[in-house]
Amino acid sequence: MDYVIAVDLGGTQIRAALVSASGTILAHERTETLVDAGPYAVIGRILALMAQVHGFLPADGQLLGAGVGAPGPLDPATGIIYSPPNLPGWEALPLRDLLAQHVDFPVALGNDANLAALAEWRFGGGQGTRHLVYVTISTGIGGGVIEDGRLLLGRMGAAAELGFLILDADHGTIWEDLASGTALARAAAKALPDHPLSLLHQLATPATLTAAHIAEAAALGDALAGALMAREAHILGMGFASILHIFSPEIILVGGGVVLHNPDLLARAREVAYAHVKVPLYREVPIELARLGERAGVLGAAALALSVFGAP
């Protein structure tokens, strides 16, 4: 049976797994990234995790290669990563080649949000489709697009930056600045002084507020939190409507902590999206929760390796 090594490189944690061609995770390891130690120290930690999971390869198994998902911007064709915000000091770093020179199998590199889309398409809620959009709503807004059965990359792999949709023409404000978890917390912090009776004062300070606090307060009937979540649903829905018009997917899958912490949010955003599309056929497109959760990172890296190194 064919296997791949999958690595999910984040600003806080690195995860590595040994994954079968069917998406079964045989071994999984994780460690802190420790970005302050510099890129070469982090690369050493990646290699150590890869070696650990490699040790679980069955005696009769064939290792095809490794896939690495990392924050962008990066160019999957050249394997170079360009100054990602959460990896300071990683400037035009040839990450793929630096890893490949220390192992005896090939390595592929991809943008982590794009690879999450690939994972959902191959192993999750998008199986059987040819056109899919994946959106993650968390600290920021990211995503990936499967078009005609292929990952949409664009020039230098920089396509499908869905969080950069401009929703405010007067100010050039992007979707991420309006509807990410960070934006939601920022709006709550700004509103709190005018709502002294809000439950949010009991849950956090303006400096420590998170989207999860707002969802919790909304579920308890807090008026301010409820209004903030209604605004969040409206802005998310407007972004989904734009995505439906631009890509005409068969399904939109949505992940990230902002929607996971509030089950009603996606349903309300879906209603907004359907109300603002210009052609009825777009209302036939499901907008659903993504299914892979925390596994999307490593399974996306696995899907990349499987697609590049020969497994059907």
Residue 310: what pLDDT?
74
Q: Which domain holds residue 231?
A: 125-291
Q: How many residues does the chain have?
A: 312
Rounded CA Rg of the chain:
20
Pairing of the two strands 2-9 and 62-70 = parallel
Same domain? 164 vs 265: yes
Same domain? 83 vs 130: no
Look up residue 93 and give its DSSP letter. B
Phi-psi region of 123 (alpha: psi -120 to 50; beta: other; left: phi over 0): alpha
Same domain? 175 vs 279: yes
User: Domain for residue 120, yes or no?
Assistant: no
pLDDT per residue over 211-234, tens digit each?
A: 999 999 999 999 999 999 999 999
Same domain? 64 vs 131: no
CB 96 within 8 A of CB 79: yes
User: Domain for residue 117, yes or no?
Assistant: no
In 3-state terms, what secondary structure has residue 143?
strand
Burial classification of residue 39, based on how many CB atoms lie within 10 Å of its CB (0-12 exposed, 13-18 middle, 19 or more buried): middle
CB-based contacts of 101-106 (< 8 A; 24+ apart in sequence): 102/47, 103/47, 103/50, 103/66, 105/5, 105/63, 105/64, 105/65, 105/66, 106/65, 106/66, 106/308, 106/309
Residue 263: what pLDDT?
77
Same domain? 270 vs 140: yes
Backbone angles phi, psi at 192, to 5 degrees: -55, -45
Residues 6+ apart with CB under 8 A from 117: 126, 132, 133, 134, 143, 144, 145, 146, 151, 160, 253, 300
The number of distinct structural domains making up the chain is 2
Same domain? 84 vs 139: no
Q: Is the dihedral of CA 151, 156, 160, 161 positive or negative?
A: positive
Residue 312: what pLDDT?
54
User: Domain for residue 9, yes or no?
Assistant: yes
Same domain? 143 vs 101: no
Same domain? 67 vs 103: yes
29: Cα separation from own chain's centroid? 20
CB 115 within 8 A of CB 4: no
C-alpha span between 51 and 33 (Å, rounded): 16
User: Domain for residue 118, yes or no?
Assistant: no
Residue 234: what pLDDT?
97
The string over 148-163, giving b where at least 16 C-beta atoms fall within 10 Å of a residue's C-beta and e elsewhere, is eeebbbeeebebbbbb
Same domain? 49 vs 189: no
pLDDT, averaged in runs of 10, over the chain (312 residues): 95 95 95 93 96 95 96 93 89 96 97 95 96 94 95 91 92 95 95 94 92 92 95 97 97 93 90 96 96 93 94 52
Same domain? 304 vs 282: no
The string over 285-307, giving b where at least 16 C-beta atoms fall within 10 Å of a residue's C-beta and e elsewhere, is bebeebbbeebbbbbbbbbbbbb
Specify the CATH number for the domain of residue 38.
3.30.420.40
User: Domain for residue 116, yes or no?
Assistant: no
Backbone angles phi, psi at 139, to 5 degrees: -55, -45
